[in-house]
């Protein structure tokens, strides 16, 4: 698509000929205009065409099938693996006046019968189903007995066999095209690689589908990767300084560190709950539900958490461990800021991450091809961590988009360009030490011992092995320990050295020779001892404010907060997440415009017909009770920037189970 631009109303009207689709967007969803590719996708599907849609999370995929379902005769069938979220999705649609239902294993027989009856009577606009249910003969027969407007296959990357979310039941979905050749199908995903895209088309049997690809840029997310020192403490200050009171997700690799981190945050006054596959399903569901319903809760999770979470106001995603691939990283970070407001993707990354992941790959059950692929994924992830260039440009280039994107001014490398230094001599010293140990002693050691030798430290282990007798002992005293670790880490990332075996010993690679023979330079990033946590455009004072209210003029903040607490009451009464009532972005626009009548309120983005009827009086009442705060003239340009957003998720991963325990400490730890 042509970037992430917001279509003007005039554009959209022209494309769709002022059609029913646009009218539905206004009436039901209360939005002014389609975003980016939405108009073209919806037009194509409404006209009966198949589509494969690649759009980042928060890009607005749902409307691409919801509007065709509303406009075309019959019920739209949505295939989604996210059983736990169906209830919320349906509740959100019902709050908009859409006749939606779902069928899954959480329902009892009677509840399912009601939905079936509604479907058969043509009383549903949308019906959500899990793929394992859809493929049952009973379900297929049921679907044959009423009119279907469109099949939407959400999280379509689950059909990709090499992907981390593979669901075998997705493979059966190709039968939809055979059985219902006249019903358009739309497959949607936020997983961006070309290979996945191709696999989706093939496996779902959609050779003639039109492909739509949105820009994957998430301009409102600030990307930052800091050197890991004391990760829990680093996380704590990041949260305290920049995201006090905000909702967010913290990802860790092992269950044990999830539990410990959640405890640590709670002990330090940040409300946090754990989420991983080792908790029973009741606890998991409860924690997920709290995350969706409460404001400002932090979930500490393994990758098992997050797919399809459509909470719009996740303000940060933090990684305490290195993700295994750029795809995973992008999907996870993409869960921040679906509402387009400023959000942060923060990660702490260190030498141990690299060693540990290399070891996990070597020790994995997968075959050689699997290990090669996993290693390639890790290499790309490391390249992102070690880059001195704009992280966003590198991410977009990775996904095959705009290789020439200008630097973004909203990532750490753009905000504080890292200094580089000539690490050639240091690299040679390190490699020589590895060579000597091996040639002279026939020994291999991990990074800890190598660094001790370079620093000339007479530790017990150094003395035990007589390593103080080596000619390289103490040749690296010009650098501090942390700097040497940085050298090892960056050389590992660049493939100039490798780790091997259970103990993560350092060994030479094919490329090591080029350094030893002085055939190449080794530029390295300087390790900044204290990473600066600068925040793009927000002046310092605002950093502590909640992002949701941060860019509002001070005099409007009380009204915004009043509406939020009103919203909280409504949400509690109805047992739905607050954002199902209104998004923060909508509340912001309400206090900015300050409508004085229910009719005026209808002009606000995000206020459709049904919500106007349900909540109009309530909202106007809240504003009236604050009367004095009414701005004389509504400031005009305070609308939140519309920004596209991200991807869906990471679920279970057959080859990479989450770790039960803390990864074993390396010999230098």
> What's the rounded Cα separation, in Å, for the pair 566 and 620?
11
- Tokens linked to 425: 């001599």
- Which 393-412 residues touch Zn ion, going by CB under 5 A? 407-408, 411
Question: Contacts for 404-410 with beta carbons within 8 Å, 24 or more apart?
Answer: 405/217, 408/219, 409/536, 410/219, 410/221, 410/222, 410/223, 410/536, 410/537
DSSP type of residue 538 = S
Asked if 61 is part of the footprint of ligand ADP (rule: CB under 6 A), the reply reads: yes
Q: Indicate left, alpha or beta for 191 from its phi (over 0: left) and psi (-120 to 50: alpha).
A: beta
Nearer to ligand ADP, 31 or 560 (CB): 31
d(CA 182, CA 184): 6
Q: How far is the CB of 665 from ligand ADP (least distance, A)?
A: 39
Q: Which of 28, 55, 411, 434 binds ligand ADP (CB under 6 A)?
A: 55
| Cβ(548)–Cβ(341) below 8 Å | yes
* Least Å from the CB of residue 103 to Zn ion: 45
Q: How far is the CB of 417 from Zn ion (least distance, A)?
A: 10
Q: Three-state SS for 145?
A: coil
Residue 59 touching ligand ADP (CB under 6 A): yes
| Interface with Zn ion, residue 239, by CB under 5 A | no
Q: Is 58 in the site for ligand ADP (CB under 6 A)?
A: yes
Among 4, 37, 45, 62, binds ligand ADP (CB under 6 A): 62
Q: CA-to-CA distance for 359 and 501, rounded, in angstroms?
A: 7
- Regarding 82 and contact with ligand ADP (CB under 6 A), the answer is no
CB of 406 to Zn ion, least distance (A): 9
**What burial letters (b/e) apply to 609-623, b meaning 16+ CB within 10 Å?**
ebbbeebbebbbebb
- Judged by beta carbon, residue 39 or residue 408, the one nearer ligand ADP is 39
Q: State the binding partner of 59 from Zn ion, ligand ADP, none, CB within 5 to 8 A by kind.
A: ligand ADP
For Cα atoms 334, 337, 341, give the angle at the middle one, nearest 5 degrees: 145
Closest separation in Å from C-beta 606 to ligand ADP: 7
Could you give the CA distance from residue 228 to residue 349 in angstroms, rounded to a whole number? 5
Positions in 28-47 near ligand ADP (CB under 6 A): 31, 34-35, 38
| 98 touches, from Zn ion, ligand ADP, none (C-beta below 5 to 8 Å by class) | none
Q: How far is the CB of 404 from ligand ADP (least distance, A)?
A: 26
Residue 288 CB partners (closer than 8 Å, separation 6+): 84, 275, 299, 305, 309
Q: Which residues of 303-321 are buried (b: 16+ CB within 10 A; e: fewer)?
A: bbbbbbbbbbbbbbbbbbb
356 vs 586, beta carbon nearer ligand ADP: 586
359 Rama sector, left if φ>0, alpha if ψ -120 to 50, beta otherwise: alpha
| Cβ neighbours of residue 190 closer than 8 Å, sequence gap 6 or more | 54, 55, 56, 57, 59, 61, 157, 331, 334, 646, 647, 648, 649
Residues 298-317 within binding reach of ligand ADP (CB under 6 A): 310, 312
Closest approach, Cβ 38 to ligand ADP, in A, equals: 6
CA 510 to chain centroid, in Å, comes to: 36
Q: What would the x/- binding string for ligand ADP be over residues 564 to 583, using CB under 6 A?
A: -------------------x
Distance of alpha carbon 306 from alpha carbon 288, whole angstroms = 9
Q: Pick from Zn ion, ligand ADP, none: which does 35 bind, CB < 5 to 8 A by kind?
A: ligand ADP
Stretch that binds Zn ion, among 144-152, 182-190, 345-353, 390-398 (CB under 5 A): 390-398
Q: How many helices (H) and strands (E) does the chain have?
A: 29, 17
Its sign, for the CA torsion 485, 487, 488, 490, is positive
Contact between 499 and Zn ion by CB under 5 A: the answer reads no
Give min distance, CB of 386 to Zn ion, in A.
Answer: 15
Shorter beta-carbon distance to ligand ADP: residue 261 or 343: 343
21 vs 559 by CB, closer to ligand ADP: 21
The entry of ligand ADP, Zn ion, none near residue 408 (CB within 5 to 8 angstroms by kind) is Zn ion
Q: Is 157 in the site for Zn ion (CB under 5 A)?
A: no
Q: Is 447 helix (H, G, I), strand (E, B) or coil?
A: helix
- Residue 60, binding choice from Zn ion, ligand ADP, none, Cβ under 5 to 8 Å by partner class: ligand ADP
Taking CB within 5 to 8 Å according to partner kind, which of Zn ion, ligand ADP, none is near residue 84? none
Binding mask 582-611 for ligand ADP (x = CB under 6 A): -x----------------------------
| Torsion sign, CA atoms 551, 291, 36, 347 | positive
The distance of closest approach from Cβ of residue 44 to Zn ion in the complex, given in angstroms and rounded to an integer, is 34
Q: Which residues bind ligand ADP (CB under 6 A)?
A: 31, 34-35, 38, 55, 57-63, 310, 312, 338, 583
Q: Which residues bind Zn ion (CB under 5 A)?
A: 390, 392, 407-408, 411, 414
């Amino acid at each position: 698509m042509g970037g992430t631009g917001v279509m003007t109303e005039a554009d959209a009207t022209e494309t769709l000929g002022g059609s029913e689709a646009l009218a539905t967007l206004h009436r039901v969803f209360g939005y002014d205009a389609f975003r980016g590719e939405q108009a073209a996708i919806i037009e194509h599907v409404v006209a009966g065409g198949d589509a494969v849609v690649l759009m980042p999370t928060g890009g607005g995929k749902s409307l691409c099938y919801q509007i065709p379902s509303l406009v075309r005769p019959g019920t739209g069938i949505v295939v989604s693996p996210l059983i736990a979220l169906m209830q919320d999705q349906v509740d959100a649609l019902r709050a908009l006046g859409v006749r939606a239902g779902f069928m899954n294993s959480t329902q009892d027989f009677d509840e399912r019968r009601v939905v079936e009856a509604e479907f058969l009577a043509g009383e549903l606009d949308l019906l959500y189903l899990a793929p394992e249910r859809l493929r049952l003969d009973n379900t297929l027969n049921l679907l044959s007995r009423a009119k279907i407007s469109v099949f939407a296959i959400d999280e379509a990357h689950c059909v990709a066999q090499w992907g981390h979310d593979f669901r075998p039941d997705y493979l059966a979905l190709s039968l939809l095209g055979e059985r219902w050749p006249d019903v358009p199908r739309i497959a949607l995903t936020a997983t961006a690689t070309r290979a996945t895209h191709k696999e989706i088309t093939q496996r779902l049997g959609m050779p003639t589908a039109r492909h739509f690809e949105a820009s994957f840029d998430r301009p409102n997310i600030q990307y930052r990767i800091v050197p890991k020192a004391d990760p829990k403490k680093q996380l704590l200050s990041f949260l305290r300084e920049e995201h006090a009171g905000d909702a967010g997700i913290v990802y860790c690799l092992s269950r044990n560190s999830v539990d410990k981190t959640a405890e640590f945050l709670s002990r330090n006054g940040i409300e946090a709950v754990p989420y991983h596959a080792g908790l029973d399903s009741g606890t998991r569901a409860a924690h997920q539900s709290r995350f969706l319903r409460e404001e400002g809760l932090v979930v500490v999770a393994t990758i098992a958490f997050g797919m399809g979470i459509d909470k719009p106001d996740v303000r940060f995603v933090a990684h305490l461990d290195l993700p295994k691939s750029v795809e995973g990283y992008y999907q996870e970070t993409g869960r921040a800021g679906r509402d387009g407001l400023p959000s942060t993707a923060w990660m702490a990354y260190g030498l141990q991450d690299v060693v540990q992941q290399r070891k996990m790959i070597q020790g994995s059950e997968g075959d050689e091809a699997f290990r090669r692929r996993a290693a390639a994924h890790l290499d790309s992830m490391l390249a992102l961590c070690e880059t001195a260039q704009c992280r966003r440009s590198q991410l977009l280039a990775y996904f095959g988009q705009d290789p020439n994107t200008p630097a973004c001014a909203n990532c750490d490398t753009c905000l504080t360009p890292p200094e580089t230094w000539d690490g050639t001599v240091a690299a040679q010293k390190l490699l020589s030490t590895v060579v000597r140990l091996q040639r002279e002693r026939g020994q291999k050691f991990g990074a800890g011992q190598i660094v001790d030798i370079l620093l000339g430290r007479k530790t017990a282990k150094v003395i035990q092995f007589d390593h103080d007798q080596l000619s390289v002992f103490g040749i690296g005293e010009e650098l501090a320990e942390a700097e040497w670790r940085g050298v090892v880490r960056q050389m590992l990332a660049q493939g100039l050295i490798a780790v091997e075996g259970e103990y993560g010993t350092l060994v030479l690679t094919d490329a090591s020779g080029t350094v030893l023979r002085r055939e190449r330079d080794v530029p390295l990033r300087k390790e900044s001892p204290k990473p600066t946590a600068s925040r793009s455009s927000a002046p310092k004072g605002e950093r502590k404010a909640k992002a949701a209210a941060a860019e509002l003029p001070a005099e409007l903040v009380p009204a915004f907060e009043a509406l939020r607490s009103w919203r909280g009451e409504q949400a509690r009464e109805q047992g739905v997440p607050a954002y199902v009532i209104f998004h923060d972005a909508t509340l912001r626009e309400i206090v900015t415009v300050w409508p004085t009548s229910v009719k005026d309120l209808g002009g606000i983005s995000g206020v459709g017909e049904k919500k106007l009827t349900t909540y109009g009086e309530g909202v106007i009442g809240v504003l009236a009770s604050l009367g004095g705060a009414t701005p004389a003239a509504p400031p005009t340009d305070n609308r939140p920037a519309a920004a596209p957003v991200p991807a869906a998720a990471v679920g279970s991963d057959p080859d990479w189970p989450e770790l039960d325990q803390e990864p074993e400490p390396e010999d230098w730890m």
